[in-house]
Amino acid sequence: MDIKHALGVALRNLQANKIRCAQMLLGMVIGVASAVVILYMGSNLMQGVSDFYSAYSPSLMYMGVYTSVEKSPRVTVGDMEGLIASSEYITAVSPLVSVEDCNLRYNGETLADAQIKGVSEQFLQMKPACQAAAGRFLQPLDISRRQKVCVIGSAVAEELLGCQNFEDALGQTLKIRGENFTVIGVLAEIQPDLEKGNYESYIPYTTAKQLTGEIIAPLQEDYYLDIYYVNLNSVDNIINGRDTVRALLAEVSGRPYGETTGLFSLSTRTSQKYDRECVMGLVGKLLGVSGIVLLVGGVGIMNVMLAAVSERRREIGIRKAFGANNPDIRRQFMLEAFYTSGFGALLGVLIGMPAGWLVCQFMGSVPIGYAGELMINPDLLDLSSLLWPAVAASAAALLLGVLFGYLPARKAEQLEIVDCMRE
């Protein structure tokens, strides 16, 4: 059976029955278009997740150390840093002191999105993306001497200091919570920057602690909360790393772990996995809906093909009389269903690709994931992220077309010639 012949016949039949054709294709078109949008959005979110985490060491853990204010000796930064030498799992430790309401100012202007974090020089091992594009990152002496120095994000240099050339920012003086800080480095720009990482600046944690004072755990006011980034030698040692710190807490407090101390720990791997699962879950649920629409579309194609078979009995009889065997007839109708669903898929893709792009332009973020929302990158327009959803959704539509074309095609091939030729 000639594929081109079947295509010609299919197109002419589609053309001859425009209303029926529209009714048949509606489900397919909507199903494919929505699947393209969903897959496109999902791949965008997925890309955002991996972009975000690629800035960090894959074996990084975020740890919140809780210590009872009254009942317990407290783990010091020195104790934590001691683990680098004593534990085989831990390779770097940095405190993290967020300076809330940092009020970052330069020449009387403030930068609203700015964030200030107090860390140690080891932070660079945990977030390798924090390379200084100009100047340098924090060094041990900055920490021990509680220097009022800062390494600023590229957006701070550009927007607050107005420096196109980052070298010009070095040596400038900024105000953080009213205190003067000298810029010693500018960080390389993060691209894409969905989480406003370019607005983050870093100061020695020792200096930061002076600004913030003691930090009491939110909701648990009789506990101190000390936050650390801990880097492990391998992602496989997440549990070992956590247990090492628990053991330290027990040792320092002189009580079993958990009695007067507590540890909240989260590895980037876990949160990345969670974020991915959230995206997959969302995409899965939405695709389920598209799938149902596609199925309805498939049933539509089946119905129309069944009607076409009984309408075209005579044609079937004639074809058989001139030598078509059963597989020839079956193939013809399967090909017609295939072409029809292909046509629906094409329309769906033509609608779905721009629709997906529009959704990603205006949606901003989706309220899922560990941090409560995942950002959509409106600039993500590379060919593969646009193409594979189109290919996948079309493939599903074509498969359904063939599946639902099978029954009518079977019916067609089973018709007896004499029955076809009778009036």
Partner 1 sequence: MAEFKQEDALIRLENVFKIYQTGETAVHALDGVTLDINRGEFVAIVGASGSGKSTCMNIIGCLDVPTSGSYHLAGEDVLAMNDDAKAKLRNKTLGFIFQQYNLIPKLNLCENVELAMLYAGMSAGERHKRSLQLLEQVGLADKANNVPSQLSGGQQQRVAIARALAGEPAVILADEPTGALDSQTGREVLGYLKLLNNEGRTIILITHDNAIARQAQRIIRLEDGKIVYDGQPDSPEAVVQAEVQA
Taking CB under 8 A as the binding criterion, the range among 8-16, 21-29, 61-69, 359-367 that sits at the site for partner 1 is: 8-16
Q: Among residues 15 and 86, whose Cβ is nearest to partner 1? A: 15
- Token pair 């909701």 is found at 219
Contact call for residue 285 and partner 1 (CB under 8 A): no
Asked if 311 is part of the footprint of partner 1 (rule: CB under 8 A), the reply reads no
Of 127, 319, 330, 331, the one binding partner 1 by CB under 8 A: 319
Q: Which is nearer to partner 1, 112 or 418 (by Cβ)?
A: 418
Query: Does 322 contact partner 1 by CB under 8 A?
Result: yes
DSSP readout, 307-371? HHHHHTHHHHHHHHHTT--HHHHHHHHHHHHHHHHHHHHHHHHHHHHHHHHHHHHH--EES-STT
Q: Which stretch binds partner 1 (CB under 8 A): 214-222, 283-291, 325-333, 385-393?
A: 325-333
CA dihedral 145, 199, 136, 192 (to 10 degrees): 150
Quick one: angle between helices 313-321 and 268-311, nearest 10? 80
Alpha-carbon separation of residue 342 from 6, 53, 305, 349 (angstroms): 13, 39, 15, 10
Q: Is 96 helix (H, G, I), strand (E, B) or coil?
A: coil
Nearby residues of 234 by Cβ (< 8 Å), 6 or more positions away? 59, 89
Of 219 and 418, CB closest to partner 1: 418
Query: For helices 238-253 and 77-86, what crossing angle results, to 10°?
Result: 130
417 binds partner 1 (CB under 8 A): yes
User: Is residue 1 at the binding interface for partner 1, with CB under 8 A as the rule?
Assistant: yes
- With binding defined as CB under 8 A, does residue 140 bind partner 1? no
The answer to whether residue 18 forms part of the interface with partner 1 (CB under 8 A) is no
- Considering only 246, 320, 330, 331, the residue that binds partner 1 (CB under 8 A) is 320
Q: Is 411 in the site for partner 1 (CB under 8 A)?
A: no
What token pair was written down for 413?
A: 């091939």
Rg, the chain, Cα only: 32
Tokens of 16: 């001859």
Burial label for 104, CB within 10 Å (0-12, 13-18, 19+), is: buried
Smaller CB separation from partner 1, 178 or 323? 323
Cβ at position 19, least distance to partner 1 in Å: 17
Q: H/E element holding 126?
A: helix 123-126
Indicate the burial class of 307 (C-beta count within 10 angstroms; 0-12, 13-18, 19 or more).
Answer: middle
Does 213 interact with partner 1 (rule: CB under 8 A)?
A: no
Tell me how far apart the alpha carbons of residues 144 and 147 are, in angstroms, rounded to a whole number: 8
71 binds partner 1 (CB under 8 A): no
CB of 334 to partner 1, least distance (A): 16
Q: Which of 8, 162, 254, 258 lies at the binding interface for partner 1 (CB under 8 A)?
A: 8
Number of residues that bind partner 1 (CB under 8 A): 26
| Min CB(340)–partner 1 separation in Å | 15
Smallest distance from the beta carbon of 16 to partner 1, in angstroms? 7
Site string for partner 1, 360-399 (x = CB under 8 A): ----------------------------------------
Task: Kindly list the residues in this chain that would bind partner 1 in the complex (CB under 8 A).
Answer: 1-2, 4-5, 8-9, 12-13, 16, 314-315, 317-326, 328, 416-418, 421
